[in-house]
Amino acid sequence: MTMTTDTIRIDDRDIPFTPGQTIMDAALAAGIYIPHLCHHPGLPPSGNCRLCMVKIGNRSTAACITTATAGQQIRSDTPELNATRKTITQMLFVEGNHICPSCEKTGNCKLQAMAYHFGMLDDHFPQFYPRRELDASHPDILLDRSRCILCDLCVRASRDVDKKNIFTTAGRGTQAHLIVNTPSGKLVDSPIAKTDLAANICPVGAILIKEKGYEVPIGRRIYDWQTIRETGLQEQVELKNKD
């Protein structure tokens, strides 16, 4: 098939894109799932989790922050890339305290669902068991930094959608952590509300709404019924329907 000026090729399939669209958004719009945790339709991309790494020729790049360009030859669903993604997922598990059987987020957790997606049966790496500050100061919202994967979703949601700029990240490497933009550093002194997108977008159990634990029984939760591939494609469709 001859390439047109508005087409890219992903895994031997030609798909259209609009000017300025990223490879990730073009792929999802075409029904092609590229694994991701830090991407959310409608939010500016950050490229934090690196699960969406694809190959363009011999170059590796994050699909969520790379603009689609006519004629790109992209590989995504390959054994090599998926093995790397599985390793990243295993590292995310051991870098935080993700004890799925005792976590309220189980069944609704994207990290857990990603592990299922890649057939992850063990953590592979030694557990870090980090001790990070828990903030239960707010009457409606709990912040457990030990589960944070630094996806930056709450930062972008608060800044770009809620217009409150409540969260940011600080530090580097193993010292990187989520902070609350108040003089005390506590959620209780922030204007966050339990209806804010930032309070509900966390893909793991780092930000939870209080007094809602297990309202939906285990066995009836999102990933008890759907795979993360199905929900990832569905999110893009829902955004398109809103526009």
- pLDDT averages per 10-residue partition of the chain, 243 residues: 70 94 95 96 93 95 96 96 97 92 93 96 85 94 96 97 96 87 97 97 96 89 94 79 67
Judge whether 147 and 96 are in contact, CB under 8 Å: yes
157/171 Cα distance (integer angstroms): 20
Does residue 67 sit in the same domain as residue 134? Answer: no
Helix pair 110-117, 228-242: axis angle to 10 deg: 130
Q: Is residue 123 domain-resident?
A: no
Q: What is the pTM of this model?
A: 0.91
Structural domain span for residue 138: 130-212
pLDDT given for residue 2 in this prediction: 46
Instruction: Tell me which residue of 89, 83, 142 sits closest to 114, measured CA to CA.
Output: 89
Domain presence at residue 134: yes
Which of 152, 144, 183 has its CA nearest to residue 170? 152
CATH code at position 53? 3.10.20.740
Count: domains in the chain: 2
Whether residues 138 and 201 fall in one domain: yes
Burial class (CB in 10 A: 0-12, 13-18, 19+), 1: exposed
Q: Is 97 inside any structural domain?
A: no
Q: Say if residue 238 is in the same domain as residue 189.
A: no
Residues 208 and 134 in one domain: yes
**What's residue 240's pLDDT?**
66
Supply the pLDDT for residue 236.
74
State the pLDDT at residue 243.
63
Task: Tell me phi and psi for residue 55, to 5 degrees.
Answer: -110, 130
